[in-house]
Structure 1
């Protein structure tokens, strides 16, 4: 069984890659996770080797969206094909 913390990180990468202009409010709506949880998972991604950038759009500092510029050791095809198992691991931890 997958570790739920690791599963959250992989699932968030998948969401960022498969949604148009994924920002914190949109990702909160998609996941149902609190803002703090989402921010913590985003903050942990570079520690896994994932390069994440924030594309600024608009005049406010938080106007924009996230984009994965490099997957590091992760395989996006593997993550996409295992999304049901990732969600199961996340759901079982709640």
Structure 2
């Protein structure tokens, strides 16, 4: 069984890479997670070797979106194939 914290991180990588211009409000809507949870998971991704950048657009400081530039040790194909298992682990956690 997958750890729900780890599953959240994997699923967020999947969401970022499979949605156009994923910003915090869009990721909140897609995941159903509160802002703080989402921000905590975003902050944890670089510690796993995942390279994530924020693309600034607009005049406000937080206008923009996230882009996954390198999966690090993660396998994007595995995550795509096991997305339902990730969601189940998140729901159980």
Task: Tell me which interval the TM-score lies in, with the shorter structure as reference length.
Answer: over 0.9
Distance in 2, matches of 1:63 and 1:91, equals 30
Q: Which ranges in structure 2 are unaligned for 5 or more consecutive residues?
A: none
Equivalenced residue count is 93
Moved over 4 A (4+): none
Q: Does 1:24 align with 2:31?
A: no
The CA deviation at 1:13 is 0.1
What corresponds to 1:3 in structure 2?
3
The CA deviation at 1:30 is 0.6
Structure 2 length-normalised TM: 0.99
Deviation digits for residues 41-86 of structure 1 (CA, Å, limit 9, x no counterpart): 0000000000000000111010000001111000101100000000
Q: Which ranges in structure 1 are unaligned for 5 or more consecutive residues?
A: none
Q: What's the C-alpha RMSD, in Å, of the aligned pairs?
A: 0.4
Structure 1 length-normalised TM: 0.98
